[in-house]
Amino acid sequence: MSARAIRLDELTKTFAPGGDPAVDRLTLDIPGGSIVALIGPSGCGKTTTLRMINRLIEPTSGRIEIGGVDVTHQPVTELRRDIGYVIQQVGLFPHRTVSANIATVPKTLGWSAAQIRDRIAELAALVGLDTDMLDRYPDELSGGQQQRVGVARALASDPPVLLMDEPFGAVDPIVRARLQDELLTLQERLHKTIVLVTHDIDEALKLADRIALLNVGGTLEQYATPDELLSAPANAFVETFVGEDRGVKRLQLSLVSQLAFDQGPVVPLETTPERARAVMAQYRSDWLGVLDDGVFVGWVPGEGVRDSVSLSDLPRYPPAGRVTPSSTLRNAMEVIMNSNTSVAVIDDDGAFGGVVTLEAIRGALGLSGVDPRTGASV
């Protein structure tokens, strides 16, 4: 099923008549096939907003459009069967087996027994559930397994939209990280439009394509990509909420492949010592990296580079660690910290892919500075 965009238009919820709104004229465009995180402090109306999308809470005013269709007045049971719903406490039916739980919506929709059986097998594989779990009752499963069943149940009829309310809040950090990774893998294949409520900024940064940061009273403070939110917080509230370690968090979001290619003080083994010294001077480096047929083979100390000795005869030291184009800048930073040469070497499928320096990382984060080696501003 094709991805459907969701549009919230001036959506407002006031619980007590005449009281303060829980969500206040919220307008939000959620692109089809993307993950949008709703985040904010307690009382910011993030869960209320989510529950208005499948109308478990009826909006006081405003409109909700899904795939261009106004669903504000559609019969709720119909609407909800097209929207997967995953909650923190999972809410599995304890009196039904895992299979029967997953089959809930397909059964309501009148699928045949064979269709349902095939779909259950497909979903079990998709969410990583052992088939011998299928005949058990939910109480016999661990928290992580229950959450997988919850996701499988929500995806059962292949709804274009998935709503997730703190889906990984009740499991331990290790399981949470794994389930988050699995959700991203799942999303690469499924392209659902996912709205996720979380109170964990790191979860939002990791999972979401866009983040809507709400403040108490349901007002939108900023709606932006994770990188924008970190690099250009709209105001002091956003800045405080995302935390003082914004720079470090951004490192986690950017990949080595996003940096411009940097050859670094690295030369082929055949290079003359004279030329090698010129390269080291250019990069103001005490070390020289050497390549053998395009493969990085090690660092040689700069003071050893003399006219009488060939580069290939010098003692070589292996790099402290390697990064790949798909490593995060944070991984690269880690390697740089552990390296005598203050440089991380990129290993692009065996071939030398350039180097990463602290300056390059600073540059990528848009932090102003002057490259100490080249004197150029970055």
User: Is residue 87 close enough to count as binding another protein by CB under 8 A?
Assistant: yes
Extract the tokens encoding 167. Answer: 């889906």
233 CB-near residues (< 8 Å, 6+ apart): 222, 239, 242, 246
Tell me the closest approach of the beta carbon of residue 150 to another protein, in angstroms.
8
| Helix or strand (DSSP H, E) at 273 | helix 273-283
Q: How far is the CB of 197 from another protein (least distance, A)?
A: 13
Query: What does the alpha-carbon distance between residue 176 and residue 172 come to, in Å, rounded to a whole number?
Result: 6
What is the CB neighbour count within 10 angstroms for residue 99?
20
136 is an interface residue for another protein by CB under 8 A: yes
Q: How far is the CB of 229 from another protein (least distance, A)?
A: 29
Distance between start and end Cα atoms, the chain: 45
Q: Between β-strands 69-70 and 61-66, what pairing exists: parallel, antiparallel or unpaired?
A: antiparallel
Question: Of 33-62, which residues contact another protein (CB under 8 A)?
Answer: 54, 56
Shortest spacing between CB 351 and another protein, in angstroms:
49
Report the nearest approach of another protein to the CB of residue 154 (Å): 8
Q: What are phi and psi of 245, to 5 degrees?
A: -90, 40
Q: Is 94 one of the binding residues for another protein (CB under 8 A)?
A: yes
Torsion of CA 279, 281, 284, 290, to 10 degrees: 30
Pair 208, 197: CB distance under 8 Å: no
Applying CB under 8 A, which of residues 11, 66, 105, 204 lies at the interface with another protein?
A: 105
Structure tokens at 310: 């060939």
DSSP structure class, residue 229: H
**Token pair 């529950």 is at which residue?**
51
196 scored as a contact of another protein (CB under 8 A): no
Q: At what angle do helices 329-337 and 246-253 cross, to 10 degrees?
A: 110
**Cβ count within 10 A of residue 240:** 10
Contacts of 18 (CB under 8 A, 6+ apart): none
> Which of 64, 92, 133, 266 is in the footprint of another protein by CB under 8 A?
92
Count of residues in contact with another protein, rule CB under 8 A: 33
Query: Interface with another protein by CB under 8 A: which range of 71-79, 197-205, 244-252, 368-376?
Result: 71-79
Q: Which is nearer to another protein, 147 or 285 (CB)?
A: 147
Give the per-residue contact string, 284-323, with another protein (x = CB under 8 A; - = no).
----------------------------------------
User: Quick one: which of 17, 110, 139, 188 contacts another protein (CB under 8 A)?
Assistant: 139
Q: By CB under 8 A, is residue 99 in contact with another protein?
A: no
Among 137, 199, 228, 373, binds another protein (CB under 8 A): 137
Stretch that binds another protein, among 19-27, 72-80, 209-217, 316-324 (CB under 8 A): 72-80
d(CA 31, CA 34): 6
| Site membership for another protein, residue 90 (CB under 8 A) | yes
Please select the residue that binds another protein; options are 76, 125, 184, 337, rule is CB under 8 A. Answer: 76
> How far apart, in whole angstroms, are the C-alpha atoms of residue 120 and residue 152?
8
Is residue 201 involved in binding another protein (CB under 8 A)? Answer: no
Q: Give me the residues that bind another protein (CB under 8 A), please.
A: 54, 56, 76-81, 83, 85, 87-96, 104-105, 108, 136-137, 139-142, 150, 153-154, 163
